[in-house]
């Protein structure tokens, strides 16, 4: 059984993240898919039904410069696009919240001594903490994520300068860790939303006791390494639909681009099916980052380290 509340170094975060999935991966992903599967399917359905023609117009109809095809489509389907956009926003933000909270509840139960977690256990945690779940949903959706997007967007705009590349490499992992730490602390500590947000920011740069060196570099290093690894894998899956689309265009005559949308028919269904698969794979793989960040949160809670070590020693004594 894995020990959660303990000090870890840079390399241990990475090795323990993979060790976690080696121990609990089958049970973890079974519960994850059962809880998130419906929302993932709904999101893909909304994208396919509401935006397939739209994406086809953007990518296909204007290739030879005749923009009126897109303008006419936008005018004729404005209501559908607005409704689809609202549904997609609600589903995607709900999915984002569940994705952040699922590893929080799962790891909390494992850290408390459960050897196997059931879907009903996670659902019970959501129901018991329903008020907090709604608070974190609105806090993430309308406060934290917009601010994070602005900070990341500003850094990304500077990417044309050398300083922008450096900023993105530091800002993105730090923002991700702050958001995940917020979720872990809000449901593991006895603090309010803004208190947990404050802790999430402060804990990136110092331990609560203030006597140890800053953990920032090991947190940042572990996140950036894991992020790059996942980016390469996710990029492979998400790039397949675009590669197929480019291949389709290369075998289509210029005139045909104006007569039919290349995203309709069986080809369009295939592309969006692959898009759905890549979305699912990306969602699953992101859990490696969530768990990695969770181990960092448990590392930061030095106030629990000694307590958990003593309890573990007592347990060993009882078993003997």
Confidence of residue 23 (pLDDT cuts 50, 70, 90): very high
- Does the pLDDT value for residue 249 go beyond 80? no
Write the burial class of residue 164 (CB in 10 Å: 0-12 exposed, 13-18 middle, 19+ buried): middle
Looking at residue 258, its pLDDT comes to 44
Q: State the average pLDDT over residues 64-69.
A: 52
56 φψ region: left (φ > 0), alpha (ψ -120 to 50), beta (else): alpha
Region for 4 from its dihedrals, namely left if φ exceeds 0, alpha if ψ lies in -120 to 50, beta otherwise: alpha
**Residues 76-87: tens digit of each pLDDT:** 667 777 887 888
Phi, psi of 281 (to 5 degrees): -60, -45
Q: Which residues are CB-contacts of 269 (< 8 A; sequence separation ≥ 6)?
A: none
pLDDT band per the 50, 70, 90 thresholds, residue 253? low
CA distances from 96 to 23, 138, 156, 310 (A): 25, 11, 22, 36
Q: Judge whether residue 103 has pLDDT over 60.
A: yes
Entry pTM: 0.84
Mean pLDDT of the region 239-257: 64
Helix axes of 162-188 and 78-111: crossing angle, nearest 10 degrees? 60
> pLDDT by residue (tens digit) across 259-299?
455 555 566 667 667 777 777 788 889 999 999 999 999 99
pLDDT one-digit tens code per residue, 171-190: 999 999 999 999 999 999 88
Q: State the Cα–Cα distance between residues 71 and 187, nearest whole angstrom.
A: 47
User: Residue 63's pLDDT is what?
Assistant: 47
Please state which of the ranges 28-32, 127-131, 238-242 shows the lowest mean pLDDT.
238-242
| pLDDT of res. 87 | 83
Mean pLDDT, the chain, rounded, equals 82
What pLDDT, on the 0 to 100 scale, is given for residue 259? 45
State how far the alpha carbon of 47 is from the alpha carbons of 29, 40, 77, in Å: 24, 11, 14
């Amino acid at each position: 059984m894995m020990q959660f509340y303990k000090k870890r170094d840079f390399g241990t975060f990475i090795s323990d993240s993979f060790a976690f999935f080696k121990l609990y991966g089958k049970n973890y992903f079974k519960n994850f898919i059962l809880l998130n599967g419906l929302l993932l399917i709904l999101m893909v359905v909304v994208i396919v039904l509401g935006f397939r023609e739209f994406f086809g117009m953007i990518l296909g109809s204007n290739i030879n410069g005749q923009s009126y095809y897109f303008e006419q489509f936008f005018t004729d389907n404005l209501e559908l696009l607005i409704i689809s956009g609202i549904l997609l926003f609600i589903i995607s933000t709900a999915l984002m919240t569940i994705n952040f909270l699922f590893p929080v509840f799962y790891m909390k139960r494992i850290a408390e001594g459960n050897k196997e977690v059931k879907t009903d256990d996670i659902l019970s945690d959501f129901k018991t903490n329903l008020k907090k779940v709604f608070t974190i949903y609105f806090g993430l959706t309308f406060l934290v994520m917009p601010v994070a997007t602005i900070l990341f967007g500003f850094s990304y705009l500077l990417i044309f300068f050398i300083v922008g590349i450096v900023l993105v490499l530091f800002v993105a992992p730090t923002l991700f860790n702050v958001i995940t730490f917020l979720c872990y602390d809000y449901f593991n500590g006895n603090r309010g939303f803004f208190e947990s947000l404050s802790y999430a920011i402060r804990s990136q740069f110092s331990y609560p006791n203030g006597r140890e060196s800053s953990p920032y570099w090991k947190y940042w290093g572990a996140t950036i390494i894991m992020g790059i690894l996942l980016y390469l894998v996710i990029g492979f899956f998400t790039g397949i639909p675009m590669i197929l689309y480019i291949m389709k265009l290369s075998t289509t005559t210029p005139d045909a681009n104006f007569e039919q949308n290349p995203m309709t028919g069986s080809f369009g269904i295939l592309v969006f099916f692959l898009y759905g698969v890549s979305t699912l794979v990306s969602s699953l793989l992101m859990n490696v980052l969530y768990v990695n960040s969770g181990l960092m949160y448990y590392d930061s809670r030095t106030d629990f380290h000694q307590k958990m070590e003593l309890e573990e020693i007592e347990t060993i004594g009882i078993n003997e």
